[in-house]
Amino acid sequence: MAELFSILFFIGLIITCVFMAKPSLSQFKNRPALTRKKIALYGFGTCLVLFALIGVFAPKAPASTTAVVENMEKETPVVEPKAEKATDVKVESKENNQEKELETIKGYNKAILAVRNHGNNVLEIDLPATEVAFTDLDYIDHTSRTTRDILIKILKNPPTQQFSAIRFVIFADLRDQYNNKKNEPIFQLTYDYAEIKKINIDADYVDHRLFLNFAMFGLRSPVAHEMFEGWCAKDDNAEKSGSFCQ
């Protein structure tokens, strides 16, 4: 409807302008021509009415949603994701690194049963007593050779954790008075980490007893007492292992 009134408005405006320029055109049959004053009155009056009708029938513009959106943005609280504390991230990263290092050490020898960070910065490694030992003395001899090989790998790839000692706990199958078999620790070797780091491990051969100079023997079962005494009394073991046998 508004489009029709718009067309009529422009037609009426054009006719009014033409009649204003040449009033004689407004003469019809026996009627005299209109004066410019009447042409202006009738013509522009009609145009004003048409213009008003255009405004009435013009389609309403949709309400602006910008203000509503802005208000909603202002009123809706923005929940920001909680940023992880830097200290928490560091602690988690440190723990992951420690676990990876322990897994790496466990892979240094297939005989290793378990590796853990014991209290007071002690790296603790569980080993089984060798099953190929011919005598009780061979248990300590074989174990010290195995621990030497593992220690050399640790010294060549030092962990980031600060250890004061490395302890090897040796497990064996024992039988109690009722002939029940139990796998229990029988002895342990605790190496002073600061001291063994001074050993020249680049030599062609490193005697396993050299490492024992900086180790302490720990009794975990009575059966290991005779092992220890017998090993220290054999050949030059006591001489080569320094204070270990004292």
pLDDT of residue 135: 59
What's the burial of 34, exposed, middle or buried (CB within 10 Å: 0-12/13-18/19+)? buried
Would you kindly state where each structural domain of the chain is located, as residue ranges? 1-57, 100-245
Q: What per-residue confidence (pLDDT) applies to 134? A: 47
Helix runs in 76-129, H state only: 86-106
Q: How far apart are CA 6 and CA 11, in angstroms?
A: 9
CA atoms within 13 A on the CB side of 147: 32
- The token pair that represents 237 in the structure block: 């073991």
pLDDT string in tens for the chain (246-residue length) = 667 766 776 776 787 777 677 666 666 666 776 677 766 776 667 777 766 766 666 666 655 555 545 555 566 566 666 666 656 666 667 788 999 999 999 999 999 999 999 987 999 999 997 654 445 667 889 999 999 999 999 999 999 999 999 999 999 888 877 888 888 999 999 999 999 999 999 988 999 999 999 999 999 999 899 999 999 999 999 999 999 998
CA distance 211 to 149: 10
Strand 215-219: give its sheet, edge to edge.
114-118, 122-128, 165-175, 181-192, 215-219
**What is the structure's pLDDT at 67?**
54
> What's 159's DSSP letter?
-
In 10 A of CB 71, how many CB atoms?
10
